[in-house]
């Protein structure tokens, strides 16, 4: 079975699993995966799919690494 | 306000009024103008004609949150061009409250002696510092505070500065027992050493309060500024910068494939999980260390930490992202305790962790130690403090280390090592490295925070992005603001106008300040031109244009024609 490797960084993981495996039956937009995870989309500052910056509208492949980060500044 | 001239040859000081040309300048802006006006650009950076300048920003001493940074500048022995580096601590605020716009250190002693310069609200004098020779910055500041009082702020160099090594920085003490705020970059510690100046001590107990020309205007603006930082989701008490410190971004930089790994040969580190801010926070709190400390009085962001060992004993304060990247993943080290211990050694020797981490990475590639092996790496680093030939070589920075050891892959631009973002997968930073008059320096225009505006892996828009970021960085560096504090000013430039006009009674406009920020860059570019620096000196290393960086397998491909024309829109 193909699965997503999903990771929540920083404060996004407060009260939920930091890293989990998720299986999708069909590709979904990032926004729907966010809803599945119970993450508030307004608290997401960066999304990466296999390390590439992505948006809520992008489609999540059935197999990939999907990461969500809170808002961040470089310092 | 006044300028304090310090002549290290005659050991005399002179107070002079601020001339009209410098009235509106502070921090990096004042450094750029003084360098251009007073220093022969082709002079030996470690010779008598160079000048070392200490100056608070325009907001210094006024109680504006995050605005107490001290800018230090000179011609850089590392880049051969202009250099400004700034640090937190208490010196910036105190000098501003003394009414000191700048301390300008000139000439060199006729002998081999080292000196301490003491500065109070109305006087300055010298003491012999030969009993401090060979001491690191921690012992130097401890001894001086024991002798002169805990209320003294100490600005000092370690062994690296005494040896005139181009990787040497300058340490500044802060509130309470805080010893390690560093103006690290560009070899300014070597310039201080060349002046025979081991330390400056500043009597902060004598600092009074500033008087404001228009207190209402100032307070309204500064209160709103602080409020917006507190409300900012990145910076406030629930924001990542406060909760995890600068290391909040470690996971993201790694995921984006830009984390320097094993001498910049990879952009992602398999051991990065244990270097992340999340792990750092958990470790520190488990061990009863401290998170959320501030480096300047009144800072509401408070991104510092006090990293402790398993027994709860302090190792170093503070472990920051750049250090994690350069002496952690770049050296193949995945244990934060190891990173913290190397961090402490660098701080104590008075070394820039970025330059030193990059030089160690090059030395490891040459076979002098092993990636991931703390013992062999720390043994190399220890040699810098001991002053061995090999130690002095590595302490002179990544370029010298690579050239002597025959290593071609040297991650540096304009003689200065790259910070914690590989330019092949964060190309906006590559443009900054390849164009900033400061050399490879993320604080001159960091594109990481603008990743939603311009694709970090693409070419389009990077030139314009970097120029805008470089102007913003100039704003921060000439007002004394921390680089995290930019969002409220970017959102409303009038905030800065009101704060500055409220303090000084000026009648500046947004356009006036914008011109001032741009003039910083214009003056620096002109200084470097006079110093003989050409476009070729700013080039990204050839291997980074040809060797793809995993995991995205990208090269730095912003055309040179784009880089060479970036300042046409300045």
**pLDDT one-digit tens code per residue, A11-65:** 999 877 899 999 999 999 999 999 999 999 999 999 999 999 999 999 999 999 9
CB of A19 less than 8 A from some CB of B: no
Q: Under an 8 A CB cutoff, do B234 and A18 touch? A: no
Label the pairing between strands A64-69 and A4-8.
parallel
Residue A1, CA atoms < 13 Å, CB-side half-sphere: 9
Q: Chain centroid to CA B2: how far?
A: 25
Any alpha helices (H) in B76-172, and if so which ranges?
91-97, 137-148, 159-162
Helix or strand run (H / E) with residue B377: helix B374-386
Predicted pLDDT of residue B452: 83
For residue B105, what is the enclosing H or E element?
strand B100-106
**pLDDT tens digit at each of 570 positions of chain B:** 999 999 999 999 999 999 999 999 999 999 999 999 999 999 999 999 999 999 999 999 999 999 999 999 999 999 999 999 999 999 999 999 999 999 999 999 999 999 999 999 999 999 999 999 999 999 999 999 999 999 999 999 999 999 999 999 999 999 988 999 999 999 999 999 999 999 999 999 888 999 999 999 999 999 999 999 999 999 999 999 999 999 999 999 999 999 999 999 999 999 999 999 999 999 999 999 999 999 999 999 999 999 999 999 999 999 999 999 999 999 999 999 999 999 999 999 999 999 999 999 999 999 999 999 999 999 999 999 999 999 999 999 999 999 999 999 999 999 999 999 999 999 999 999 999 999 999 999 999 988 888 999 999 999 999 999 999 999 999 999 999 999 999 999 999 999 999 999 999 999 999 999 999 999 999 999 999 999 999 999 999 999 999 999 999 999 999 999 999 999
3-state DSSP assignment of residue B181: strand
Q: What are phi and psi of B409, to 5 degrees?
A: -85, 90
For B408, residues 6+ apart whose C-beta sits below 8 A from its C-beta are B402, B543
For residue A75, name the pLDDT band (cuts at 50, 70, 90): low
Q: How many CB pairs under 8 A join A and B?
A: 84
Nearest to B240 among A48, A53, A72 (CB): A72
A17 inside 8 A of chain B by CB: no
Q: What is the pLDDT of residue A17?
A: 83
Q: Give the Cα separation of B555 and B546 in Å (integer).
A: 6
Strands (E), B1-69: 2-7, 12-17, 52-56
Alpha-carbon gap, residue B445 to A62, rounded angstroms: 37
pLDDT score for A14: 83
As for the ipTM of the complex, it is 0.96
Contact B238 A11 (CB under 8 A): yes
Of the candidates B131, B134, B105, the one whose C-alpha atom is nearest the C-alpha of residue B11 is: B105
> How far lies B87's CA from each of B170, B174, B376, in Å?
9, 10, 30
- What is the distance, to the nearest Å, from the Cα of residue A40 to the centroid of all Cα atoms in its chain? 11
Separation CA B371–CA B212 (nearest Å): 55
Asked if B240 lies within 8 A of A10 by C-beta distance, the reply is: yes
Q: Would the CA dihedral through B435, B436, B437, B442 be positive or negative?
A: negative
Q: What is the pLDDT of residue B214?
A: 98
Q: Which residues contact B223 (CB under 8 A, 6 or more apart)?
A: none
Q: Do A53 and B455 touch (CB under 8 A)?
A: yes
The two tokens of residue A35 are 């809803």
Are the C-beta atoms of B432 and B563 separated by less than 8 Å? no
Q: What is the DSSP string of B442-496?
A: GGG--GGGGTTTS-TT--TTHHHHHHHHHHHHHHHHHHT--GGGHHHHHH-THHH
Residue with tokens 């890293």: A19
Residue B258's Cα: distance from chain center in Å? 21
Q: How far is CA B400 from CA B183, B184, B260, B360, B380, in A?
A: 21, 18, 20, 11, 15
Residue B126's nearest CA partner among B139, B113, B138 is: B113
Give the residue numbers in B contacting A (CB under 8 Å), as ranges.
Answer: 233-235, 238-241, 243-244, 246, 248-249, 251-252, 255-257, 268, 276-278, 303, 320-321, 421, 442, 446-449, 451-452, 455-457, 483-484, 551-552
The answer on pLDDT for A1 being more than 60 is no
Q: What is the pLDDT of residue A74?
A: 80
Q: Do B277 and A10 touch (CB under 8 A)?
A: yes
Cross-chain CB nearest to B233 (options A18, A48, A71): A71
DSSP-derived 3-state class of residue B561? helix
Q: First and final CA of chain A: distance in angstroms? A: 41
CA atoms within 13 A on the CB side of B71: 38
Q: Give the closest of B246, B447, B457 to A75, CB-based.
A: B246
Q: Is A41 on the interface with B (CB under 8 A)?
A: no
Instruction: Measure the CA–CA gap between B433 and B466, rounded to whole angstroms.
Output: 9
* Pair B251, A9: CB distance under 8 Å: yes
């Amino acid at each position: 079975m193909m699965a997503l490797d999903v990771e929540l960084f920083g404060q996004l993981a407060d009260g939920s699993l930091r890293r989990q495996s998720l299986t999708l039956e069909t590709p979904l937009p990032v926004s729907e995966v966010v809803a599945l995870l119970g993450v508030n989309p307004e608290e997401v500052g960066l999304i990466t799919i296999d390390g590439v910056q992505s948006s809520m509208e992008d489609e999540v492949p059935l197999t990939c690494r999907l990461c969500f980060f809170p808002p961040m500044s470089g310092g | 306000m006044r300028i304090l001239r310090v002549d290290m040859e005659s050991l005399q000081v002179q107070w002079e009024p601020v001339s009209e040309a410098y009235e509106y300048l502070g921090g990096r802006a004042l450094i750029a103008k003084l360098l251009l006006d007073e220093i022969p650009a082709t002079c030996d950076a470690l010779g008598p004609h160079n000048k070392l300048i200490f100056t608070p920003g325009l907001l210094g001493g006024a109680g504006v949150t995050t605005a107490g940074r001290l800018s230090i500048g000179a011609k850089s022995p590392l880049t051969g061009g202009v250099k400004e580096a700034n640090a937190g601590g208490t010196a910036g605020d105190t000098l501003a409250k003394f009414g000191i716009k700048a301390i300008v250190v000139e000439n060199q002693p006729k002998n081999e002696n080292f000196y301490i310069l003491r500065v109070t609200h109305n006087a300055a004098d010298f003491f012999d510092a030969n009993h401090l020779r060979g001491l690191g910055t921690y012992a130097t500041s401890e001894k001086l505070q024991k002798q002169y009082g805990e209320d003294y702020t100490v600005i000092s160099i370690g062994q690296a500065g005494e040896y005139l090594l181009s990787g040497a920085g300058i340490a500044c003490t802060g509130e309470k027992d805080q010893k390690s705020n560093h103006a690290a970059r560009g070899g300014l510690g070597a310039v201080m050493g060349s002046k025979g100046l081991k330390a400056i001590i500043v009597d902060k107990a004598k600092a009074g309060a500033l008087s404001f020309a228009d207190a209402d205007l100032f307070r309204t603006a500064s209160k709103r500024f602080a409020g917006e930082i507190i409300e900012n989701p990145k910076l406030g008490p629930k924001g990542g910068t406060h909760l995890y410190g600068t290391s909040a971004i470690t996971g993201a930089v790694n995921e984006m494939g830009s984390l320097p790994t094993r001498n910049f040969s990879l952009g992602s580190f398999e051991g990065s999980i244990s270097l992340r801010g999340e792990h750092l926070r958990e470790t520190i709190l488990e061990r009863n260390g401290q998170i959320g400390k501030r480096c300047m009085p009144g800072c509401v962001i408070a991104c510092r930490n006090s990293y402790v060992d398993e027994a709860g004993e302090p190792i170093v304060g503070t472990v920051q992202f750049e250090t994690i990247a350069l002496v952690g993943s770049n050296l193949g080290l995945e244990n934060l305790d190891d990173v913290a211990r190397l961090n402490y050694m660098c701080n104590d020797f008075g070394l820039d962790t970025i330059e030193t981490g990059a030089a160690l990475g090059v030395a490891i590639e040459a076979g002098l130690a092993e990636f991931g092996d703390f013992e062999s790496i720390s043994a190399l680093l220890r040699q810098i403090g001991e002053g061995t030939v090999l130690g002095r070589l590595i302490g002179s920075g990544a370029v010298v280390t690579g050239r002597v050891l025959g290593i071609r892959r040297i991650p540096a631009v304009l003689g200065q090592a790259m910070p914690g973002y590989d330019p092949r997968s964060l190309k906006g930073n590559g443009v900054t490295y390849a164009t900033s008059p400061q050399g490879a320096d993320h604080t001159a225009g960091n594109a990481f925070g603008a990743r939603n505006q311009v694709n970090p892996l693409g070419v389009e828009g990077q030139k314009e992005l970097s120029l805008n970021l470089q102007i913003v960085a100039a704003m921060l560096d000439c007002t004394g603001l921390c680089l995290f504090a930019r969002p409220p000013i970017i959102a409303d430039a009038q905030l800065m106008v009101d704060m500055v006009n409220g303090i000084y009674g000026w009648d500046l406009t947004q356009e006036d300040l914008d011109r001032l920020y741009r003039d910083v860059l214009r003056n620096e570019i002109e200084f470097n031109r006079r110093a003989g620096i050409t476009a070729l000196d700013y080039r990204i290393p050839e291997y980074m244009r040809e060797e793809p960086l995993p995991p995205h397998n990208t090269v730095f491909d912003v055309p040179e024609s784009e880089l060479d024309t970036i300042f046409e829109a300045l």
